[in-house]
Amino acid sequence: MSAIIRPNVLQMEPYAPGRPIEDVKREFNLDRVVKLASNENPFGPSPLAVGAIQRAAANLHQYPDGSAAAIRNAIAAKFGLEAENILLGNGSDELIHLIGLLFLDGPDTEMIMGNPSFVRYDAAAHLAPAKLTKIPLDADHKHDLDRMLEAVTSNTRVIFVANPNNPTGTVVTGTAIRAFLDKLPAHVTLVLDEAYFEFAAHAPDMPNSAELVREGYNVIGLRTFSKAYGLAGIRVGFGFAPKSVVDAYHRAREPFNVNSLAQVAAIAALDDTEHLQKTVENNTFGLKFLKDLFEQTGGTPVESYANFAYANIHREADPVFQALLRKGVIVRSGKHVGHPNFLRVSVGTMDELEIFASEYRAL
């Protein structure tokens, strides 16, 4: 007899991560592979975080601090909030999953998200299982906040806005977000997913979820140590939320959801302003380099504030992705999000971007 698995789970597509470097090396018999597919930090982890991990390794026989007090206090101090406002998860992926569990309560409840946007929001809605309403981005590939607001019903519980958005890199302004929040009914929580915030902090009128939570808005802000802080492999995401949400979150989460190495690494990375600054500065150059490249080669780049470029290359992206893979450059095609002519390329080091540029121009 076969096990009975919930049909809504079987309808889900497994997450398709960027191809691992070792896989691509083996498949195409390559010595050098450049991965520009997962928006990782091209300079690696903060050296301070690596040191902290090495020191903490001797204590791995002990359980982690389940309340993760040290890192939550450090985040609270840095962002002007209290520890009772801080969420911490096994990557922000886990926070997205748990937000689904906290707010969505069966098919009569509803999530609203942009389209295309980060695919894990779909998964949170599917697992609930809740109704999912996707609102197309506007002509500039930005979240269409007016249409999102129009879609709100008495069943809506949560709205996800990735700012900057993945895969487009676009941002909505603080003025627009505040006007949206002022009109949002009290039964709806806005999740502002700021996984790429550090790269966009300079954008004009950039909203900041820590400020919005401080001001008492019904907002959850999500951040991550995976991108600008360079710790994708150890999995730490954090968030800012009203205290009542954080209280509910503690009831629902696993008791030791952030492991001991992740906790010490995150504390060290938070203080490594030098590594962060180097990463953000390189990103500004890298984005400009990719924008110029796509424009010079007949493409139309979207105005990205994240650590990746997104461009309409006016031809099918899948064959371009395949051809680049054979040359040892891993990028992403937009086909799986309904943009078959778009390519997404993470900002690497300038050396990596030069390799991408020369292979791309040679296609």
Among 24, 36, 39, 239, binds ligand PLP (CB under 6 A): 39
Q: Which is nearer to ligand PLP, 91 or 299 (CB)?
A: 91
Site for ligand PLP in 235-254 (CB under 6 A): 237
The verdict on 93 binding ligand PLP (CB under 6 A) reads yes
Confirm or reject binding of residue 118 to ligand PLP (CB under 6 A).
yes
State which residue, 160 or 321, has the beta carbon closest to ligand PLP.
160
Among 41, 46, 156, 166, binds ligand PLP (CB under 6 A): 166
Q: Which stretch binds ligand PLP (CB under 6 A): 90-98, 208-216, 296-304, 348-356?
A: 90-98
Residue placing its CB nearer to ligand PLP in the complex, 35 or 327: 35
Q: How far apart are CA 317 and CA 327, in angstroms?
A: 15
What is residue 333's three-state secondary structure?
strand
Q: Does 346 bind ligand PLP (CB under 6 A)?
A: no
Q: Does 259 bind ligand PLP (CB under 6 A)?
A: no
CB of 199: closest distance to ligand PLP in angstroms?
A: 12
By the rule CB under 6 A, 91 interacts with ligand PLP: yes
CB 89, min distance to ligand PLP, A: 8
Candidate segments 91-99, 131-139, 172-180, 250-258, binder of ligand PLP by CB under 6 A? 91-99
Among 162, 261, 343, 355, binds ligand PLP (CB under 6 A): 162
- Report in angstroms how near the CB of residue 194 gets to ligand PLP at its nearest: 8
Contact yes or no for 222/95 (Cβ under 8 A) = yes
Residue 91 CB, shortest distance to ligand PLP, in Å, is 3
Q: Minimum distance between the CB of residue 197 and ligand PLP, rounded to whole angstroms?
A: 10
Smallest distance from ligand PLP to CB 5, Å: 25
Query: HEC profile for the chain?
Result: CCCCCCHHHHCCCCCCCCCCHHHHHHHHCCCCCEECCCCCCCCCCCHHHHHHHHHHHHHCCCCCCCCCHHHHHHHHHHHCCCHHHEEEECCHHHHHHHHHHHHCCCCCCEEEEEECCCCHHHHHHHHCCCEEEEEECCCCCCCCHHHHHHCCCCCEEEEEEECCCCCCCCCCCHHHHHHHHHHCCCCCEEEEECCCHHHHCCCCCCCCHHHHHHCCCCEEEEEECCCCCCCCCCCCEEEECCHHHHHHHHHHCCCCCCCHHHHHHHHHHHHCHHHHHHHHHHHHHHHHHHHHHHHHCCCEECCCCCCEEEEECCCCHHHHHHHHHHCCEECEECHHHCCCCEEEEECCCHHHHHHHHHHHHHC
Among 189, 209, 224, 279, binds ligand PLP (CB under 6 A): 224
Q: Is 226 in the site for ligand PLP (CB under 6 A)?
A: yes
Q: Which residues bind ligand PLP (CB under 6 A)?
A: 39, 91-93, 118, 162, 166, 193, 195, 224, 226, 232, 237
